[in-house]
Amino acid sequence: MKRVLSGLALATLAVSLLVAAEVKLDGVKCPVSAEPAKAASSVDFEGGKVYFCCNDCKTSFQSNPAKFAAKARNQLVATGQAKQASCPISGEPINKDKTVKINGATVSFCCDSCKGKVEKASGDEQVNLLFSDAAWKKGGFKAGK
């Protein structure tokens, strides 16, 4: 029984390392400081892993994840860990030809009206339009396999 449990623990570790190795962090920013994210500092968040520039930012995130949730979700999409199912503005089915790239994350919309609303916004306003709690739910975003 101990051998089986040890084998399962090793298999789980190997899968975790393989998944972490698949995440590309080129151009990915820390959701706390906006500095380049590093694989050495991460936390599990909403079915994926969020990466930070340092352990201080990781600690800040862990003490108040809601404050940084939209930027963390942006990172989940940018790193390919989260996939979108519907328009984050309307909740309607997406048109793959209606997309905008925000901080490395490509997001699709149902129509030019929803796409235009996001294109007219800038900075944190764009991130919040796409990755707030409500938009995340409307967009049917899911992280993990």
88's tokens: 């984050």
Cβ-based neighbour number of residue 41 at 10 Å: 18
Q: Give 35-59 pLDDT, tens digit per residue.
A: 999 999 999 999 999 999 999 999 9
Question: Is 102 within 8 Å of 126 (Cβ atoms)?
Answer: yes
* Confidence band of 84 (pLDDT split at 50, 70, 90): very high
Tell me the pLDDT band of 11, cut-offs 50, 70 and 90. Answer: very low
Q: Look up the pTM and report it.
A: 0.83
Structural contact between residues 108 and 87, judged by C-beta atoms closer than 8 angstroms: yes
